[in-house]
Amino acid sequence: MTDFYQDKKVLLAVTGGIAAYKAAEITRSLIKAGAAVRVVMTDAAQEFIPAKTLAILSKAAVLTDQSWQKASAAVDHVHLAQWADLIIVAPATANSLAKLSLGLADNALTTTVMASQAPKVAVPAMNNQMWENAAVQSNVQQLTTDGWTFVGPATGFLAEGYEGKGRMVEPAEILASVAEQLARSVDAVTATQSLAGKHVVVTAGGTKEAIDPVRYLTNRSSGKMGYALAEAALAAGAKVTLVAATDRPVSAGIKVIAASSTQEMLAAVVANMDHADVFIGAAAVSDFRVAEIADHKVKKQGDEHMVLDLVQNPDILKTVGQAKKPGQVVVGFAAETENLIPNARKKLQSKHADLIVANNVLDDKAGFNKDTNQVTLVANNHEPIAVEAKLKTELAEDIIAAVAALLTSGQVVV
Q: What separation in angstroms does the CA of 329 have from each of 224, 317, 323? A: 22, 12, 11
Q: Residue 175, by phi and psi: left (phi above 0), alpha (psi -120 to 50) or beta? A: alpha
Q: What separation in angstroms does the CA of 337 have from each of 317, 395, 407? A: 20, 20, 30
Please give the Cα distance from 175 to 266 (Å, whole number).
33
Instruction: Quickly count: other Cβ atoms within 10 Å of residue 151's Cβ.
Output: 26
Please give the Cα distance from 86 to 10 (Å, whole number).
5
Please give the Cα distance from 387 to 4 (Å, whole number).
26
Task: Answer yes or no: 360 catalytic.
Answer: no
Please give the Cα distance from 175 to 169 (Å, whole number).
10
| Catalytic position from the list 219, 272, 343, 380 | 219
Please give the Cα distance from 414 to 406 (Å, whole number).
11
Cβ distance 278 to 269 under 8 Å? no
Residues placed in the known binding site for CTP: 287, 297, 314-317, 333, 347, 351
Interacting residues of 140 by C-beta distance below 8 A, sequence separation 6+: 97, 101, 122, 124, 150, 252
| Edge-to-edge strand list for the sheet holding 355-360 | 255-258, 239-244, 199-204, 278-281, 329-336, 355-360, 372-379, 385-391
Annotated catalytic sites, by residue? 219
